[in-house]
Amino acid sequence: MRPRIPLRKRLLVRLLVATVLIALCSVGATAWLAVETTTRAIREEQGQDLADDMRILAQLSGYAATHPDWKGVAPTVRALSKKMGRRIALTTSDRTLVADSAPHGTSLPPRAAANVDPLHTDTYTEPGAQLSGLDPRVVGPYRVTAKERVRLMGLAKDRQACFKQSGIDTTITMTPSGRPVLTDADGNNANGNVPVNCADGKLNTPTATESKALKNLIVRAQPCLLQGGVNFKVPYFGVDVYDKSLGSRYVTGAYNKLGDAAAIRKAEACTDNARRAQLDPYVAPVAELFLGGGDTTAPRFDVSPANKAKVVGAAAAVLALTVLVTAVVATRLVRPLRALTEAAQQPPELHVRVPVKTRDETGILAEAFNDLTERRERMEAQRKAMVSDIAHELRSPLTNIRGWLEVTRDGFVEPDPALLGSLHEEAMVLQRVIDDLQDLAAADAGTLRLHREPVRVEDLVDQIVAAYRVTADTAGVALTGKTDNSLWLDADPVRMRQVLGNLVSNALRHTPADGTVTVTAWRDGDDIVLTVTDTGTGIAAENLAHVFERFWRADQSRSRRTGGSGLGLSIVRDLVAAHDGTVEAASETGAGSVFTLRLPNSPAPEGD
């Protein structure tokens, strides 16, 4: 009874399970990737929009820091809008339109993105930005004159050369007010680490323009200071006008000396307010900035219940379709496999064949199974024929030996030399058959021993011709050998004489009187070719494919007058294969046969 395959081990079930798992993983991975990609893209877009917003605000703040009004800002707004790909609009605090990159009449977004006020900003991040909220590009009355700029540049170059002598590399950088300063490799102010020989105070001393602005700043700050109960007298002691809190440090320097922290904080607050009032006439009025839709809230990626239902439905449909297609395909794949299994489980004597309906892997497997069945049929037929042939080959000499021994035992025949010679000949026939069978069995088992050594082909051919010379002369056949010089084989000389001897004896047996048998040898590239050619009866075309089969003879009557045991050519084939060579037969009825051996060439031994 055919064993039943468990459900979990059936190919169809395995294919379905594998397909479902793959589909689930694919759907899950695709959904996860889509969500992650979308979320990442949204975040990147948000970051890019925020960076663009900051650049727009910084550029417009710079315009306001260097212009007392917004009259000429429209070209700047349009150019900036084209560059950023965003709508940009500026209005006053009461929503009066100042400039807009959108066509006239386009409604503004509901909310402003930011206020453009260079005196109160916390979004400017360029080097030199004011911690107090002042845009450093607002210089107003602190802008030095051209003459002062030339003098300051000379002082800056002198100090740069002095720094160079001390092994410090610096760069001259121009501030918005036109004052040059020295910066180090990191872009920081180099005045924090001035060599003693370079600290002359000339570069940091305020110019006449700056001093005037600083005095005005002090005058503006005094009411606030006095109102706060801070009384002071400002000494003069060198001011770094590039400091981030320009002016306030000048005013609060005295209080640093006194160590009154509260007075310092009050002075800083009063100075910042006074400086804003001092710079206010030099900057544009506060404006509201509108960008695009004006919605700066972060987009939120969410899936509504309806969309979730759609996703689940789509995933279920994909799974159902996948299972359906897999079931159909798997059924078509399993059907021929089941047919193969049923055919393989049939008894060997039925020799069942599977119909080949496709040219895919399953069809190729079916063809291979049918070929295997045919080979099994042939092997079975050969096995039966071989048993019959062996019995036939052994029966005849054994019957003769037994018969003569029985009549001799009963006294009917005297054991004279002639009888003993006949019995000896029959025993030799048995010995040859047994030896041939032993050689074939060793070749089949891969245990055939070869004692290889360098063999001169010319000597090998001469030995075979000499050994069969008497047999050839007795049969009236001319036996000759032809070889090229300096041909060598790496072979077992005894086995090679057996190979050529079988071919020559077979040729002499089938060649009539006055015929010829020729043994030739020559080099063909890396091979040595040996041929045994006869002018005998030849082999019919339909029998040529069977000449190397065991116990096969063209004479189906199996008479010893027309052939030996039928194992000689099989032994020739196996021995040549053991020497890594090949043997072929060509024949034409009535014109003779040619047996060709092709063996690897071997170099001549040293000293030859």
543 has pLDDT over 50: yes
Residues in the chain: 608
- What value, to the nearest 5°, has the Cα angle with vertex 107 and ends 291 and 95? 75
549 has pLDDT over 50: yes
Q: How many CB atoms lie within 10 A of CB 100?
A: 20
Distance CA 131, CA 124 (A): 10
Q: What percentage of residues in the chain have a pLDDT greater than 70?
A: 77
8 A C-beta contact, residue 255 and residue 267: yes
Task: Spell 507-516 as b/e; 16+ CB within 10 A means b.
Answer: bbbbbeeebb
534 has pLDDT over 90: yes
Taking only the tens place, the pLDDT of each residue in 31-65 is 776 776 666 666 666 666 777 888 888 888 889 88
Higher pLDDT, 365 or 214: 214
22: number of CA atoms within 13 Å, CB side? 9
- What is the amino acid identity at position 445? A
> For the whole prediction, is pTM greater than 0.75?
no
Q: How many CB atoms lie within 10 A of CB 488?
A: 18
Using DSSP bridges, classify how beta strands 478-483 and 516-524 pair: parallel, antiparallel or unpaired: parallel
201 has pLDDT over 60: yes
Q: How many CB atoms lie within 10 A of CB 265?
A: 13
Taking only the tens place, the pLDDT of each residue in 426-452 is 787 677 677 767 776 776 666 677 888
Closest CA to 576 of 523, 502, 487: 502
Distances (CA, A) of 581 to 170, 412, 548, 577, 599: 87, 54, 15, 5, 4
Distance CA 110, CA 408 (A): 136
Question: Which whole number is the average pLDDT over 451-457?
Answer: 90
